[in-house]
Structure 1
Amino acid sequence: MEAGDSTIDHAKVENLPQDGKSAEELFKDFGLTYDDFLLLPGYINFSAAVVDLTRGLKPISTTFRRHSS
């Protein structure tokens, strides 16, 4: 898969070792809220070993506008 290419060869993805939970397992017993996020296997084109986890996540600063009807 090339960088920026969103095409997935599902035959290859299905044969990868599992490093998380399936969607069925995630949603079986509970729901996710607005502050939860999902990391989906097969949607990145680099090894998880190269991910830098030394920096923390920052809260998103978003301004919501109220629209009158």
Structure 2
Amino acid sequence: MLANRKLAKAISELGFYEFRRQLEYKCELYGSKLTIVDRWFPSSKTCSSCGSIKSNLSLSDPIYRRDVRI
């Protein structure tokens, strides 16, 4: 079905819609938080603990981790 150019986009979008719907359902069921971000969200450049964003991240640094000292 994906070989048909006219149907390929609609079918693939429907697959992602179903995946997202299932995620939303499971998160609601288990009390988790689901964050939907757009395609260009800088997730690799964002620190997971504090949320700061590194403006320039080279390919040699695949993950940005800010050193936090307590």
Interval containing the TM-score (normalised by the shorter chain): under 0.3
Q: TM-score, normalised by structure 2?
A: 0.27
Greater share of helix: 2
Structure number with bigger Rg: 2
Q: TM-score, normalization: structure 1?
A: 0.27
Ranked by relative contact order (alpha carbons within 8 Å, sequence separation 6 or more), the top structure is 1
